[in-house]
Amino acid sequence: MKVDRKGRLEGKVAVITGAASGIGRATAVVFAREGAKLALATDKNIDGLKETLKLVEQEGGEAFIKKTSVAVEEEVKELIDLALKTYSKIDILCNIAGVTAQVSTLEEQSPEEWKRIYEINVLGAVYGTKHVAKHMQERRSGAIVNMASVAGIRSGAGANSYSASKAAIINFTQTAACDLGGFNVRVNAVCPGLIETGMTKPVFDYARKAGKEEKLGSRCELRRYGLPEEVAYAILFLASDEASYITGQALPVDGGNTASLNLPGMKV
Ligand SMILES: NC(=O)c1ccc[n+]([C@@H]2O[C@H](COP(=O)([O-])OP(=O)(O)OC[C@H]3O[C@@H](n4cnc5c(N)ncnc54)[C@H](O)[C@@H]3O)[C@@H](O)[C@H]2O)c1
């Protein structure tokens, strides 16, 4: 078999939201390493976004950064328009930006909090997909990767609103894949388990302080938590031409967490 030594995203242009830290940053670095040109966005953490740009440039990559809240449709449109103006095309959109909510009882949960989670985690991806779709349809080519979670597959991995938003993303991935499949535009999602990032820092800090680090991810079949790069490589695969016959899927990247009923007392 002939091995192609070119980057796996050579000549591609990718827009990545939530690129200031965690999984979004790791995705930007991996994509740059594989030859993609990048449009990187985040809402508030501009210092973090500048740091990501530095890491991308260290990989020999090319990128621009833009302050963008995915919860504001006009800002998402401006990001897509700028990427098109800068690079003349968009091959890949990674809707990675997301926020979590405090775990609380149903009585404590406010409509405002549910709306905030949905505006970022769900509508953010909807706006991105909407504004890139026409361009990708015209080119009859494109790959969109959405950020779901194991929390969207089962309960027990976060607040009700967070879980519901990630379940919504899995279904939006399927419906958008149906809408765009006839135009050779693929839409997939990844469902990470516990990954060490800014979002999960409080969980990691608490466990370490309590001397319980070995508990982190211990209920996964691989008996450990994951790293941002391990999710980034799954995103890379789904975004690349290697996944040319895969659409409408939500891939768990969770150390086997969702593969098991994980009944107490059943593990050796
Ligand atoms: N860390 C985990 O264990 C885990 C597991 C499953 C899914 N996820 C998902 O992965 C994605 C990335 O999170 P992470 O874990 O890397 O955490 P993170 O907090 O390090 O990254 C989140 C990113 O989203 C950005 N962001 C937040 N609100 C935004 C907005 N309104 N507009 C634009 N950008 C915004 C943040 O600035 C940051 O860059 C999220 O969608 C999260 O739900 C994380």
The DSSP result for 209-223, as a single string, is: HTT-GGGTTTTSTTS
* AA letter at 176: A
Q: How far is Cα 176 from Cα 133, in angstroms, rounded to an integer?
A: 10
Could you list the pLDDT tens digit for every one of the 268 residues in the chain? 554 557 999 999 999 999 999 999 999 999 999 999 999 999 999 999 999 999 999 999 999 999 999 999 999 999 999 999 999 999 999 999 999 999 999 999 999 999 999 999 999 999 999 999 999 999 999 999 999 999 999 998 999 999 999 999 999 999 999 999 999 999 999 999 999 999 999 999 999 999 999 999 998 999 999 999 999 999 999 999 999 999 999 999 999 999 998 887 777 6
Cα–ligand 1 centroid distance for 267 (angstroms): 32
Mean pLDDT, all residues of the chain: 96
* Single pTM value for the model: 0.97
Residue 8 lies in a domain: no
Identify whether 162 is a catalytic site residue.
yes
Protein residue closest via CA to atom 23 of ligand 1: 18
Cα–ligand 1 centroid distance for 39 (angstroms): 17
What's the pLDDT at 4? 57
Residue 231 lies in a domain: yes
Q: How far is Cα 4 from Cα 261, in angstroms, rounded to an integer?
A: 40
What's the pLDDT at 262? 80
Residue 258 lies in a domain: no
- Cβ–ligand 1 distance for 165 under 6 Å, the answer no
Domain that holds residue 241: 13-196+227-252
Phi, psi of 185 (to 5 degrees): -110, 120
What's the pLDDT at 70? 98
- Cβ–ligand 1 distance for 129 under 6 Å, the answer no
Residue 103 lies in a domain: yes
What's the pLDDT at 202? 94
Residue 170 lies in a domain: yes
What's the pLDDT at 200? 95
What's the pLDDT at 261? 85
Question: What is the domain count for the chain?
Answer: 1
What's the pLDDT at 265? 77
Q: Looking at residue 53, which CATH number applies to its domain?
A: 3.40.50.720
Q: How far is Cα 89 from Cα 86, in angstroms, rounded to an integer?
A: 8
Catalytic residue among 162, 206, 225, 233: 162
Residue 262 lies in a domain: no
Residue 27 lies in a domain: yes
Neighbours of 81 (CB within 10 A): 12
Cα–ligand 1 centroid distance for 197 (angstroms): 8
Residue 268 lies in a domain: no
